[in-house]
Chains A and B, each alone.
Chain A
Amino acid sequence: MATIAKPSIPALPGARLPFTSGLPRFLTILITAAAVLAPLSLIIYQSLLDAPFFDKHHAGIAAYQFIFADPDFWSALENSLLIATGMTIIAVPLGGVLAFVMERTDFPGKRWLEPMLLVPSFVSPMVLSFGYIVAAGPVGFYSIWATDVFGVVPWGLYSLLAMSVIAGLTHVPNVYVYASSALKNLGSDVEEAARVAGASPFRVAVSVSLPLIMPAMLFSAVLIFFLGLELFGLPLVLGDPEGHLVLSTYLYKLTNKLGTPSYHLMAAVAVCIVALTIPLVLLQRRLLQNVRKYATIKGKAGRIRELPLGKWRWLAVALVYAWLIVAVIVPLTGIALRAFVTNWGFGVKLADALTLDTFRTIWNEPTDVRAIINTILLGVIGGAITVACYTAIGFATHRRNDGWSRVIDYLVLLPRAVPGLLIGLAFLWVFLFFPPLQPLRATMFSMWLAYTVVWLAYGMRLVSSSLLQVSNELEEAARTVGASRGRISREITLPLIRHGLLGSWLLVFMIFEREYSTGVYLLAPGNEVIGASLVSLWQGGAIDIVAALSLVNIVLVAIGLAFALRFGVRLRD
């Protein structure tokens, strides 16, 4: 026998019963299904009643009849479609150009600029919109300074067109991210091949690069349109003065309109919104598979030679910086200034108005302090637990190609189609509907659960991209030496993806800090978070507090961003 044999080797421990070894996976699937399906089915159920489910009610389509008879609903639908179309028309070409300039040309200062470009996607839309009002609204800082120069304010913020433009400009990063990774994957060898064959740089862009990133552009167009239908913070803040409603703000204002909790009507609107978004989400999924297909036929993604911009350089610089000023600098500086000013208007000198009063007010207001602390805890501790949950779900589908994996795929996709506002509302109902859960309603747990479900699809993408980086053979090697599935997950795969998971934790922290709409309906004394508080404070007109809390919110996100940049976390997939 082999000369290695010295001490005897115990035999492999017998295989566990298939039932017990499949149990963790089964539980994961069950819990995920419950967390996703319970709120969604409750929305559908509620929409088919003629009164809130806790009142005396009858089944029927009365709720739908009511909203379909309401002209405000139709104008909200029309506005939603108009804004979504407008922002797609603005964001997609700009994002594409930006990606080309950043990926393929010798644009000056690219390294410094890249994280800046992503800023609008990390700042809460509520905060950004508020920033526009205090910076460029009728009495905004920049408006007043502009009046000093021109005599009038040469812009308006509250029209549908202005909202579309602002929404379009702040969603450029979403397009940029997909277009630039498509360009990055493209590898310059296919372009060089065209150059060698005699094509001019312009011809190369038009006949090689553009067709190859077309799937990514198409995908981003559908994505932007979809995000346009979901807009809430921006039309809530900017649509208010002129009374423009979109679907989500129509739903939000239904309560005010009727004066009584009209959950059945809200549910009916919610179902209408989801009926629009689900096909878009499925379409995105199809298109994304297309993007991947193109990515696999890419050339070698080697060093990319930069295209000299030459005389176009200054135009490119002007375009990029103009966008940066409008989409990032104006709203953020607006908030930063407004937070240190308590009264502002025509004739006030900025130097005289600067004060820390608002922060003192917040410091003495337990609700606001609690909101800040809760938001941090939700991001740090909640974020960690959330990533752990996403990882568990990731493992339940990892390297398994059975029916259950497909079930999870769709389960994860579903919340993607439901705006955070609706999921928050649905969870409120879940906590009201199931008596044993009622004590949890006003706790951080309800917030955390809703946040985790809202960002399920996003988080799962982060986790599964980490999991996919683990070579199949490393796990097969462990199987052949005798490790069970559970042990492979714990001792091989998990240690290998720990850096990816830490990165995911940071990204989840940032989106949890940024999130605002999910908590709107779950907000209760004790579980305040900054995002949802901003919405209710804005409704109450507490501009000073909103400005200061917005600044705190931006600082929290910035801290996350700084950590992410310091540790080289990929900010995009």
Chain B
Amino acid sequence: MSELTVENLHLAYGDNPILKGVDMKLERGEVVSLLGPSGSGKTTLLRAVAGLEVPSQGRILIGDKVVFDGSRGVDVPAEGRNLGLVFQSYALWPHKTVFDNVAYGLKLRHANRGDIGERVRSALEQLSLGPLAQRLPHQLSGGQQQRVALARALVYNPPVILLDEPLSNLDAKLREEARAWLRELIVRLQLSALCVTHDQAEALAISDRILLLNGGRIEQQGTPQEMYSSPQTLFTADFMGSNNRLPGRVAEVRDGMALLEGHGWRLRGTAKPSAAPGGEGVGMIRLENIRIAEGPGENRLPAKLSTSMYLGDRWEHLFHVGEARVRAYGNAQLAGDSHWLEVPPQALWVF
């Protein structure tokens, strides 16, 4: 059974449409990420699920209970939806101790005092916050605050927890540790989670499924592997990973392969649905899939080296291919300024 179902959801701020018909499902024990650039509507979708924004049409179901139905005028208020929400800012109540922050949801459910104490302590233990129960939020580090916010959202066992950019307020270094820790926690507690993020690396790492939003619609959805290695649209290909873009003309499309021509080069690549023979086309290739070659050959590009950057574990070289700029990784510094770049046909997507 799906824990959360969203059907044809529309939402506008005044005349400005934010969501233009979104459908999604979240299965039990699954982590789904809403990914997209700013303004794509991902946070709005999350807030609509939580009941903090009012959609104009569509349906939202939690389990089999309808919490929003535009056509029947059903709109269960946020406080009646029994969801857990972790805010980007954590939104811990500064006047309550860690214990009281976490206990508040149970108090509202009229749990008895003994149960509250036991459950809060056990939640704090789970998140290694046990010794901090009597602290006030401002006495905690950013990472600790984030865990309190999680404990507060988990303690009353909501069917779904919603996470709004849960890691974005942490330092870059702490963020990678927290990412691993969060994934581990979600799997261990078998949580069903909906997570908003604008960071594709974060989405790839923590989710079972990714929904990529673009301009209020779902552009593509799938497992992290599908999203990364077989994008269906130019937007998806461009948004995931680091890419080179080669504009050209599609000379022919045959057997799922396309031939892309530019000034002084022609490359074979995998044809995507939008590639039409005779029209303009764009070749997309991930940085890590370009190889710097010795000389001319099949599917190779002549390129002029512009500059090189040292990244620590490798080099990143910037080439000019006619008007286009192409970046590629290498293990060593390059000598001279004329080089050849090899683009494997299965790694070049032609849109």
**Is A23 part of the binding interface, using a Cβ–Cβ cutoff of 8 Å?**
no
Q: When the two chains form the complex, which single residue of B79, B85, B89, B111 contacts A9, counting CB atoms closer than 8 Å?
A: B111
Contacts of A482 in B (CB 8 A): 79-80, 82, 105, 108-109, 156
Contacts of A487 in B (CB 8 A): 108
Stretch at the interface among B170-178, B188-196, B203-211, B265-273: B188-196
Stretch at the interface among B117-125, B230-238, B339-347: B117-125
Q: Are A4 and B122 touching (Cβ within 8 A)? A: yes
User: How far is the CB of B233 from the nearest CB of chain A, in Å?
Assistant: 34
The number of chain B residues touching the other chain, given as a range, is: 35 or more
Q: Kindly state the separation between the CA atoms of A9 and B156 in the bound complex, as whole angstroms.
A: 7
Q: Are B89 and A4 touching (Cβ within 8 A)? A: no
Q: Kindly state the separation between the CA atoms of A223 and B104 in the bound complex, as whole angstroms.
A: 46
| CB interface residues, B 66-92, toward A, < 8 Å | 77-85, 87, 89, 91-92
Contacts of B156 in A (CB 8 A): 9, 481-482
Q: When the two chains form the complex, which single residue of A5, A12, A484, A492 contacts B82, counting CB atoms closer than 8 Å?
A: A12
Q: Are B95 and A496 touching (Cβ within 8 A)? A: yes
Q: When the two chains form the complex, which single residue of A12, A480, A484 contacts B109, counting CB atoms closer than 8 Å?
A: A12
Q: Are A12 and B108 touching (Cβ within 8 A)? A: yes
Q: Are B104 and A480 touching (Cβ within 8 A)? A: no
Per-residue interface assignment for chain A, residues 11 to 38, with 1 indicating a CB less than 8 Å from any chain B CB and 0 otherwise: 1110100000000000000000000000
User: How far is the CB of B125 from the nearest CB of chain A, in Å?
Assistant: 9
**Is B139 part of the binding interface, using a Cβ–Cβ cutoff of 8 Å?**
no
Q: Kindly state the separation between the CA atoms of A15 and B52 in the bound complex, as whole angstroms.
A: 16
**Is A326 part of the binding interface, using a Cβ–Cβ cutoff of 8 Å?**
no
User: How far is the CB of B349 from the nearest CB of chain A, in Å?
Assistant: 40
Contacts of B313 in A (CB 8 A): none
User: Whose C-beta in chain A lies nearest to the C-beta of B126?
Assistant: A4
Q: Assuming the A-B contacts A2-B191, A7-B118, are A478 and B109 also in contact, with contact meaning beta carbons closer than 8 angstroms in the complex? A: no
Q: Are A9 and B123 touching (Cβ within 8 A)? A: no
User: Whose C-beta in chain A lies nearest to the C-beta of B106?
Assistant: A9
**Is A360 part of the binding interface, using a Cβ–Cβ cutoff of 8 Å?**
no
Q: Are B91 and A474 touching (Cβ within 8 A)? A: yes
| CB interface residues, A 100-136, toward B, < 8 Å | none
Q: Are A4 and B119 touching (Cβ within 8 A)? A: yes
Q: Kindly state the separation between the CA atoms of A1 and B122 in the bound complex, as whole angstroms.
A: 15
**Is A477 part of the binding interface, using a Cβ–Cβ cutoff of 8 Å?**
yes
**Is B110 part of the binding interface, using a Cβ–Cβ cutoff of 8 Å?**
yes
User: How far is the CB of A563 from the nearest CB of chain B, in Å?
Assistant: 23
Q: Are A471 and B91 touching (Cβ within 8 A)? A: yes
Contacts of A7 in B (CB 8 A): 111, 114-115, 118-119
Q: Are A483 and B108 touching (Cβ within 8 A)? A: yes
Stretch at the interface among B147-155, B219-227, B275-283: B147-155
Q: When the two chains form the complex, which single residue of A3, A10, A13, A480 contacts B188, counting CB atoms closer than 8 Å?
A: A3
| CB interface residues, A 274-329, toward B, < 8 Å | none
**Is B94 part of the binding interface, using a Cβ–Cβ cutoff of 8 Å?**
yes
**Is B306 part of the binding interface, using a Cβ–Cβ cutoff of 8 Å?**
no
User: Whose C-beta in chain B lies nearest to the C-beta of A481?
Assistant: B105
Q: Are B122 and A6 touching (Cβ within 8 A)? A: yes
Contacts of B115 in A (CB 8 A): 7, 9
Q: Kindly state the separation between the CA atoms of A484 and B115 in the bound complex, as whole angstroms.
A: 22
Q: Kindly state the separation between the CA atoms of A11 and B109 in the bound complex, as whole angstroms.
A: 6
Q: Kindly state the separation between the CA atoms of A496 and B119 in the bound complex, as whole angstroms.
A: 26
Q: Kindly state the separation between the CA atoms of A67 and B58 in the bound complex, as whole angstroms.
A: 64
Q: Are A15 and B157 touching (Cβ within 8 A)? A: no
Contacts of A15 in B (CB 8 A): 77, 79-80
Contacts of B32 in A (CB 8 A): none
Q: Are A2 and B189 touching (Cβ within 8 A)? A: yes
User: How far is the CB of A484 from the nearest CB of chain B, in Å?
Assistant: 6
Contacts of B216 in A (CB 8 A): none
Contacts of A3 in B (CB 8 A): 126, 188-189
Q: Are B122 and A480 touching (Cβ within 8 A)? A: no
User: Whose C-beta in chain A lies nearest to the C-beta of B52?
Assistant: A476
Q: Are A481 and B91 touching (Cβ within 8 A)? A: no
Contacts of A4 in B (CB 8 A): 119, 122-123, 126, 154-155, 157, 189
Q: Are B91 and A483 touching (Cβ within 8 A)? A: no
User: How far is the CB of A335 from the nearest CB of chain B, in Å?
Assistant: 44
Contacts of A478 in B (CB 8 A): 93, 104
**Is A479 part of the binding interface, using a Cβ–Cβ cutoff of 8 Å?**
yes
Contacts of A11 in B (CB 8 A): 82, 109
Q: Kindly state the separation between the CA atoms of A4 and B153 in the bound complex, as whole angstroms.
A: 12
Q: Are A9 and B109 touching (Cβ within 8 A)? A: yes
**Is B50 part of the binding interface, using a Cβ–Cβ cutoff of 8 Å?**
yes
Q: Assuming the A-B contacts A7-B119, A15-B80, are A495 and B95 also in contact, with contact meaning beta carbons closer than 8 angstroms in the complex? A: yes
Q: Kindly state the separation between the CA atoms of A550 and B5 in the bound complex, as whole angstroms.
A: 71
**Is B36 part of the binding interface, using a Cβ–Cβ cutoff of 8 Å?**
no
**Is A473 part of the binding interface, using a Cβ–Cβ cutoff of 8 Å?**
yes
Q: Are A5 and B79 touching (Cβ within 8 A)? A: no
Q: Kindly state the separation between the CA atoms of A6 and B106 in the bound complex, as whole angstroms.
A: 13
**Is B51 part of the binding interface, using a Cβ–Cβ cutoff of 8 Å?**
yes
Contacts of A496 in B (CB 8 A): 93-95
- Could you say which of B83, B94, B104, B191 has the most chain A C-beta atoms within 10 Å of its C-beta? B104
| CB interface residues, A 385-399, toward B, < 8 Å | none
Q: Are B93 and A13 touching (Cβ within 8 A)? A: no
User: Whose C-beta in chain A lies nearest to the C-beta of B95?
Assistant: A495
Q: Kindly state the separation between the CA atoms of A6 and B115 in the bound complex, as whole angstroms.
A: 9
Q: Are B109 and A483 touching (Cβ within 8 A)? A: no
User: Whose C-beta in chain A lies nearest to the C-beta of B189?
Assistant: A2
User: Whose C-beta in chain A lies nearest to the C-beta of B123?
Assistant: A4
Q: Kindly state the separation between the CA atoms of A11 and B106 in the bound complex, as whole angstroms.
A: 10
Q: Kindly state the separation between the CA atoms of A212 and B189 in the bound complex, as whole angstroms.
A: 55
Q: Are B93 and A492 touching (Cβ within 8 A)? A: yes
User: Whose C-beta in chain B lies nearest to the C-beta of A4?
Assistant: B123
- Could you say which of B92, B110, B122, B156 has the most chain A C-beta atoms within 10 Å of its C-beta? B156
- Could you say which of A1, A471, A474 has the most chain B C-beta atoms within 10 Å of its C-beta? A474
User: Whose C-beta in chain B lies nearest to the C-beta of A475?
Assistant: B91
Q: Are A12 and B80 touching (Cβ within 8 A)? A: yes
Q: Are B110 and A10 touching (Cβ within 8 A)? A: yes
Contacts of A471 in B (CB 8 A): 89, 91
Q: Are B190 and A1 touching (Cβ within 8 A)? A: yes
User: How far is the CB of A10 from the nearest CB of chain B, in Å?
Assistant: 5
Q: Are A6 and B119 touching (Cβ within 8 A)? A: yes
| CB interface residues, B 1-60, toward A, < 8 Å | 50-52
Q: Are B85 and A2 touching (Cβ within 8 A)? A: no
Q: Kindly state the separation between the CA atoms of A471 and B91 in the bound complex, as whole angstroms.
A: 8
Q: When the two chains form the complex, which single residue of B78, B122, B123 contacts A476, counting CB atoms closer than 8 Å?
A: B78
Q: Are B79 and A483 touching (Cβ within 8 A)? A: yes
Q: Kindly state the separation between the CA atoms of A481 and B82 in the bound complex, as whole angstroms.
A: 7
Q: Kindly state the separation between the CA atoms of A3 and B91 in the bound complex, as whole angstroms.
A: 25
Contacts of A476 in B (CB 8 A): 50, 52, 78, 85, 87, 91
Q: Kindly state the separation between the CA atoms of A7 and B119 in the bound complex, as whole angstroms.
A: 7
Q: Are A480 and B118 touching (Cβ within 8 A)? A: no
| CB interface residues, A 145-172, toward B, < 8 Å | none
| CB interface residues, B 104-145, toward A, < 8 Å | 104-106, 108-111, 114-115, 118-119, 122-123, 126
- Could you say which of A7, A477, A491 has the most chain B C-beta atoms within 10 Å of its C-beta? A477
Q: Kindly state the separation between the CA atoms of A1 and B154 in the bound complex, as whole angstroms.
A: 12
Contacts of B123 in A (CB 8 A): 4
Q: Kindly state the separation between the CA atoms of A483 and B114 in the bound complex, as whole angstroms.
A: 21
Q: Kindly state the separation between the CA atoms of A495 and B157 in the bound complex, as whole angstroms.
A: 27
Interface residues of B (CB under 8 A from A): 50-52, 77-85, 87, 89, 91-95, 104-106, 108-111, 114-115, 118-119, 122-123, 126, 152-157, 162, 188-191
25 inter-chain pairs at a CB distance below 8 angstroms, sorted by A residue, are A2-B191, A3-B188, A3-B189, A4-B123, A5-B157, A7-B115, A9-B119, A9-B156, A12-B79, A13-B109, A474-B94, A476-B50, A477-B93, A479-B79, A480-B51, A480-B79, A480-B153, A481-B105, A481-B152, A482-B79, A482-B108, A483-B108, A484-B79, A487-B108, A495-B95
Closest 3 CB pairs of A and B: A481-B105, A473-B91, A7-B115
Extra pairs beyond A3-B188, A480-B162 (18, CB < 8 Å): A2-B189, A2-B190, A3-B126, A4-B154, A5-B157, A6-B119, A11-B109, A12-B82, A13-B110, A471-B91, A476-B78, A477-B85, A481-B84, A481-B105, A481-B153, A482-B82, A482-B109, A484-B79
